Amino acid sequence: MSDKILFVDDDDNLLSAYKRQLHGQFDLVTATNGMGGLDMLKTGGSFAIIVSDMRMPEMDGVEFLSRAKEISPDSIRMVLTGHAEIQAAIDSVNEGNIFRFLLKPCPPEIFTKALQDGLAQYHLIKSEHELLSKTLRGAIKVMSEILGLINPTAFSQASRIKRYVRHIAREMRLKDVWQYEIAAMLSQIGCVTLPPVLLHKVYKRRPLSLAENRMYTAHPEIAARLLVNIPRMERISVMIAQQHKDFEEYESLDEMTSSDRIAALGAQMIKIALEYDRLVSRAVSGEVALNTLRKKEKAFNPAMLVALENFKNEEVKAEVRQVTVDQLEIGMVTDEPIKSAKGMLLVPLGHEITHSVLERLKNFSHGGVGLREPFRVRVVMIDEEF
């Protein structure tokens, strides 16, 4: 009975009766009004099913289930009411995405069957989410490593900003952090269409011509067009497309739909992470970088700047080593650019060594071209979940 069920009804006797009838079959938690139910959702952990009466004082079932959906979108929602009003049924289905609409008095066997069906639906949704997060993230990781081979500088930056984005999302207690991490990892994939000389100028902060600036600012839209065709990537593609959009250009988050709000938050995190990374990559301290961003109050989400303040607490001292390619290990981070024997840049400074990068370096080293080795790497002990 690990899956909890929340039952909200202003009839205390009814709640007690169902708790007795369902004891031993379901883990039932009750609340006698809508506000109590919402508080339980916020503090009582996850609930597989939410059952609500329709007519309750202060907050009716339609409003409660609609707000419950925002707090716990994966929970299966049901209505158990003594009022068979057509409009109430329509409103509850439309506003709260109701799985079952049951009428009082509801026989225990019918109620039990509805709860069992609800639990099956809940597990189906959770399984789909797990498949999406794991399978999709694996595919995205392959795509990002391909970016690393084609454009190691862009990949290196994406790897760094993923850490900032993950930290901000966790500090703000956002759900499904993985989707923000994916957006960060793929935020620079449109750069594969840009000439290397242009990217070099961008990363060195050198002035761009009007034509070059148009090319560079278009890369998020290019990436978004590539990703929008992948199922379930629509929201992530919006995050990437809007990564250059200033905070003041957004309408109030409270006035957005849930999907638009998530996309806006993701885009705002990427924007802050990119600018923060550009500053600290120029040997600017984290505190100075944040102070610089705070001065541009119209460009960046202030709540996210606050969330980024203690990022340094996640950083762990790294050991710097001199290694050859045969001593290189997955997860090490370059402390200097790795170049071929003829001086061609293969891996930039600050780049994490992945399987594909390691294989590429071994091919250069043992394939007759040669590498300039040994080279410096940092062994960083950071908990990478992605």
Domain 4-125 identical in fold to domain 151-314: no
Q: Who contacts 210 (Cβ-Cβ below 8 Å, separation ≥6)? A: none
Q: b vs e for 167-201, b when ≥16 Cβ sit within 10 Å of the residue's Cβ? A: bbbebbebeebbbbbbbbbbbbbbbbebeeebbeb
pLDDT (tens digit, 9 = 90+) per residue, 232-276?
A: 788 899 999 999 999 999 878 777 888 889 999 999 999 999 999
Task: Give the pLDDT band (50/70/90) at residue 153.
Answer: confident
In order, the DSSP letters of 91-125 are HHHHHH-EEEEEESSPPHHHHHHHHHHHHHHHHHH
Average pLDDT value for the chain: 85
The domains of the chain are located at: 4-125, 151-314, 316-386
pLDDT (tens digit, 9 = 90+) per residue, 24-48?
A: 899 999 999 999 999 999 988 889 9
Contact 65, 73 (CB under 8 A): no
Task: Give the pLDDT band (50/70/90) at residue 357.
Answer: confident
Task: Tell the CATH superfamily of the 151-314 domain.
Answer: Hypothetical protein af1432 (1.10.3210.10)
Total-model pTM: 0.61
CATH architecture for the domain at 4-125: 3-Layer(aba) Sandwich (3.40)
Report whether CATH 3.90.105 matches the domain 316-386.
Answer: yes
pLDDT (0 to 100) of residue 39: 94
Helix-strand-coil split of the chain, %, nearest 5: 55, 10, 30
Calpha distance 386→384 (Å, rounded):
6
Calpha distance 121→343 (Å, rounded):
58
